[in-house]
Amino acid sequence: MFVSLLLIGVSVVVGCRVAGTDGVTPVPQLLAFLPWLLVPTGVALLCSLLIRWWFGLVWGVAALGLIAWYIEPYGRSSEPTGAPLAEMRVLTSNVEFGRGTTALVPEIRRWKPDVVFVEECESGCRTTLERELGADYPHRAAVREDGSKGSVILSHYPLRDTAGVPGTMGMPGAVADVRGHDVRLQLAHPMPPLPGQVDLWRRELGRLQDFAAADRDTPTVLAGDFNASQDHAAFRRILDTGLYDAARLAGHDRTPSWPARTAGVIGTQIDHVLVSEDFSASDARFLRVTPSDHRALVVDLTLHQRK
């Protein structure tokens, strides 16, 4: 019975991954940790072998094969071939109700990103960033709310504000002038897929998908805490609009960003920098900003001329 329950639970989650749906609670929550389903599957395989339950053994091997298949990175990874136009360093960080702001400031000074996306940046966070970094980042687009609803984009480059993507938590947007080239910037922070909020999570990820699909001619950077991994169908639909995950391009497609406290042992990558086909990515780093429950992500991008 124990082995059957393990295999049924794993099969439901993997079946949703195969079917391209996020299902209902607890499937969306478990999909975020899809690679870790190798553990209960391995236990079921071992138990099936010990009790000589051959059907369970075949079942477990099939589940193991599917999980291994879907651990592979999702989405295209081709590089642009046009001439390089500009180098950009982008940082995104969820500072967890502003708590990680003090730790984020020295990381910004250390890595000197050109554009910074900060989620859950309440009034104290904004005041600190403006006081400590205002001279270096004179251009900002923000949703000025408290708690988890506040967010801000800081930029070396001149910005034109846009309406941003509507959401329960603030998702500001802007167009940056990067050495004479327009680049769409959009902060992502949809609601997490908590029990009772999965439909809202899907809708807000759908709005980010609509943003990505609305203009495929202008270079685009969509960055933030997506509360979704590559194993969520709603997130893959955003990639299917033609965006690339910069961490994957830089060889970090499965590096965990949340929860930061256990990311070295177990975690999932839900913080992303997505870019249009105009960009290549040469490096990605995940940084601890204690006591935030998210790691920050820094990526080095190159904007290329589109052919």
Domain boundary among 71, 95, 120: 71
Report if residue 79 sits inside a domain: no
274 shares a domain with 164:
yes
Phi, psi (rounded to 5 degrees) for 261: -65, -25
The predicted pLDDT at position 57 comes to 85
- Amino acid found at 260: A
Report if residue 17 sits inside a domain: yes
Nearest partner of 89 among 304, 306, 307, 297, judged by Cα: 297
Question: The domain that contains 209 carries what CATH number?
Answer: 3.60.10.10
The predicted pLDDT at position 204 comes to 98
Report if residue 76 sits inside a domain: no
Report if residue 32 sits inside a domain: yes
The structure tokens 């079917």 sit at 19
Report if residue 77 sits inside a domain: no
242 shares a domain with 145:
yes
Nearest partner of 299 among 231, 227, 249, judged by Cα: 249
239 shares a domain with 164:
yes
Report if residue 19 sits inside a domain: yes
Strand, helix or coil for residue 52: coil
Q: Both tokens of residue 52? A: 């000589």
At residue 235's C-alpha, the angle toward residues 194 and 87, to 5°, is: 125
275 shares a domain with 190:
yes
The predicted pLDDT at position 45 comes to 84
Residues of the chain where predicted confidence (pLDDT) is lower than 70 = 76
**Can you give the residue range of the structural domain that contains 268?**
84-304
HSE-CB at 17 with a 13 A cutoff on CA atoms is 26
The structure tokens 């299917």 sit at 240
Domain boundary among 36, 71, 106: 71
157 shares a domain with 103:
yes
Domain boundary among 50, 71, 92: 71
13 shares a domain with 117:
no
What's the predicted TM-score (pTM) here?
0.95
Report if residue 275 sits inside a domain: yes
135 shares a domain with 198:
yes
Helix (H) or strand (E) holding 69: helix 54-71
Q: For the range 285-289, what are the long-range contacts, defined as Cβ-Cβ under 8 Å and sequence gap of 24 or more?
A: 285/111, 286/252, 286/255, 286/256, 286/257, 287/93, 287/107, 287/111, 288/103, 288/260, 289/93, 289/95, 289/100, 289/103, 289/104, 289/107, 289/260
Strand, helix or coil for residue 36: helix
134 shares a domain with 247:
yes
107 shares a domain with 213:
yes
The structure tokens 């950009």 sit at 88
Nearest partner of 150 among 173, 169, 127, judged by Cα: 169
The predicted pLDDT at position 301 comes to 98
259 shares a domain with 165:
yes
The structure tokens 């081709």 sit at 78
41 shares a domain with 9:
yes
Report if residue 295 sits inside a domain: yes
**Dist. CA 9–CA 11, nearest whole Å:** 5
Count of domains observed in the chain:
2
101 shares a domain with 169:
yes
